[in-house]
Structure 1
Amino acid sequence: MTGTVALVTVSYFSEDDVLSCLASVPAAAASTARSGLELCVVNNAASDPLSALEGTGATVLTPGANLGYGGAVNFAAATLGPEVEWILVTNPDVQFEPGSIDELMRVATGDERIGVVGPRVTNDDGTIYPSARDLPSLTSGAGHAVLHRVWPANPWSKRYLRADKSATTGTDPVAAGWLSGSCMLVRRAAFDAVDGFDHRFFMYFEDVDLAERLGLAGYSVLYVPTATVMHAGGTSTRSHSAAMLKAHHHSAYLYLAKRYHEWYYLPVRVALRVGLGLRSIVGARRA
């Protein structure tokens, strides 16, 4: 198991969550730490001093503005030294199970063409979160994005949910189209080769887009069911649900428009923009 790992998390008034996340790391990374493990927190809330992080060993970076999730990770990645070969991207409200980071590293270092691996993610009630999926098609992705909240049983959402790779009962790594950005271990060389996250995705879909570009660059995307983390689920965004819903729909449109950019898809892109825009308005009124 070789190569220094840098854990990068992003805080937006999430100090307590960051502390819990960092406290879970030593038991999760006993072997990894011997090769080198750096802790990096990007503070997207400039008015939050994060004073409780003093003494944790974490480097706190303050860009002076809210860069969004992917933009903040890019900001951190640009500061890392050449000795860092792996970037462990994690939400602040993730807690690592013992041995989980070591297990991710064991799988990731097994083949140089592996670009990113992700763990089994459990919700705080113990259920498994669908953190690994096939890439969404135009129909399933658009249908799910527009209709899943108002018509959960729609056929496009059913097709989207059937693409869940995290439902596996086996222990072998499973190839996936994309992995949840709540926790993913990315090969630094692969991350740099595709220019990191697309900063235009302020929140949501930045993980889908990154995994797709890694796959197109020839790297493998693997779900590792033998490594487990617990994700409390968006504690920094719960009080901003209307804004986050708008961000989700914007990112859904951006991803699908980016993937289906050819001129003959213009009518589809227009329909997507209108449909997701209306969905955002309805969602904001209900929030």
Structure 2
Amino acid sequence: MTSGMTNSTVDFSIIVVSYHNAGDLTGLIASIDAAAASSSWHATIVNNAPDEPLAPIFASHDRVTVVEAGANLGYSGGLNLGMAHAPRSRWTVFLNPDLTLHPRSLERLGAVLEAGAEAAVPLIVDAAGHRQDSLRREPSVIAAIGDALFGDSWIGRPEALSETVRSPGAYARAHNIEWATGAALAIRTGIADAIGDWDDQQFFMYSEETDYARRIRHHGGSIGFEPGAVVEHRAGGSGSSRALYALMEVNKLRYFQKWHGPAASGIFAVVLLVRNLIRPHRPGARTAVRALLSARARAELPGGDR
């Protein structure tokens, strides 16, 4: 672990989990000063890739601590390790490594928390500045059916028929949301302490942000979306494969089983199966079907048997 840990309370404690993201991290770290404006910050980077040491890169940076995990702990496990090594702070921010923060983005998220929200998320754009549809509704059987049948082909369908929020108006105004994709999330550190660790027992990666947001809301907290806080997300920076797609589908079911009960979860599982069966040429669809049906196949996915 590199030095750089501060003994005083900072405004923003930033937690980043890296898995072969050395090429992304310098850009992210370089963007934090302007994003935080006059607020203080410290970044804790958890390195899940033992074959790519990160400590030498940031050895001279007094506001960055690198924690070498020694193994791939997954996203949830990495975040938990990062929080255990992070300094005291007013706010905790969880960031993907493949982000660039726009000026004042962290400051604006902090203002949302200061105004009373327990958590806050930014507007996410791609490298060309185009909005990414990052806002989500609570998963439901009806939404899963709508997404299975229509995908992205009927953008203007009724809201209940999609988990993804696509309305441009929703991204133009500040409002409370149910959850958002997990590239960036700010939370009051006291609330993070109250709700506890990310669920690394069930979610190696994928659906961990859905679960964490549900726990914030279950605790009585609100999650504010702030369009004035903008971050750029490099598509594909977290990697993709057939196994990762299958894990994403399996973890959607694990989340549903955790929060929605056995009867609804059985229907949800059938919808997930049908969605992948009717699109067999989608990369990972056949792997997902096997994993949804077989405990042995699930144990072969990243993160092993959970």
Q: Which residue of 2 aligns with 1:245?
A: 245
In the aligned structure 1, how far is the partner of 2:134 from the partner of 2:272? Answer: 26
After the TM superposition, which segments of 4 or more aligned residues of structure 1 sit over 3 Å from their partners? 154-158, 161-171, 264-267, 272-282
Q: Is the 8 A contact 2:44 2:85 kept in 1?
A: no
Q: Which residue of 1 aligns with 2:73?
A: 67
- 2:12 equivalent among 5, 10, 28: 5
SS at match of 1:32: coil
- After superposition, residues 1-287 of structure 1 pair within 5 angstroms as 4-33=11-40, 37-50=41-54, 51-57=56-62, 58-81=64-87, 83-111=88-116, 114-141=117-144, 143-144=146-147, 146=148, 152-153=152-153, 159-160=161-162, 163-164=165-166, 167-168=169-170, 170-171=172-173, 173-199=174-200, 200-237=202-239, 240-262=240-262, 264-265=263-264, 267-268=266-267, 270-272=269-271, 274-275=273-274, 283-284=283-284
In the aligned structure 2, how far is the partner of 1:270 from the partner of 1:168? Answer: 29
Question: Residues 180 and 266 (structure 1 numbering): CA distance in 2 closer, same or farther, change over 3 Å?
Answer: closer
Question: Residues 241 and 70 (structure 1 numbering): CA distance in 2 closer, same or farther, change over 3 Å?
Answer: same
C-alpha distance after superposition, 1:242-267 (max 9, x if no partner): 222112111111112222224x3364
Give the superposition deviation at 1:64.
1.6
RMSD: 2.8
Aligned length: 273
Report the TM-score when normalising by structure 1. Answer: 0.84
Amino acid of the residue matched to residue 60 of structure 1?
Answer: V
Q: Is the 8 A contact 1:128 1:166 kept in 2?
A: no
Structure 2: 5+ residue stretches without partners: 1-8, 288-306
Report the TM-score when normalising by structure 2. Answer: 0.79
Amino acid of the residue matched to residue 106 of structure 1?
Answer: A
Structure 1: 5+ residue stretches without partners: none
Q: Is the 8 A contact 1:249 1:276 kept in 2?
A: no
C-alpha distance after superposition, 1:158-199 (max 9, x if no partner): 83166347743645x211000221011111121222223211
Give the superposition deviation at 1:274.
4.1
Percent identity between the two aligned chains: 27
C-alpha distance after superposition, 1:17-46 (max 9, x if no partner): 01110011111112212xxx1111010111
Q: Is the 8 A contact 1:143 1:156 kept in 2?
A: no
Amino acid of the residue matched to residue 187 of structure 1?
Answer: R
Give the superposition deviation at 1:69.
1.2
Greater relative contact order (Cα < 8 A, sep 6+): 1
C-alpha distance after superposition, 1:40-76 (max 9, x if no partner): 1010111111232332331111222211112211111
In the aligned structure 2, how far is the partner of 1:260 from the partner of 1:161? Answer: 15
In the aligned structure 1, how far is the partner of 2:93 from the partner of 2:273? Answer: 36
Amino acid of the residue matched to residue 271 of structure 1?
Answer: V
Question: Residues 95 and 55 (structure 1 numbering): CA distance in 2 closer, same or farther, change over 3 Å?
Answer: same
Amino acid of the residue matched to residue 236 of structure 1?
Answer: S
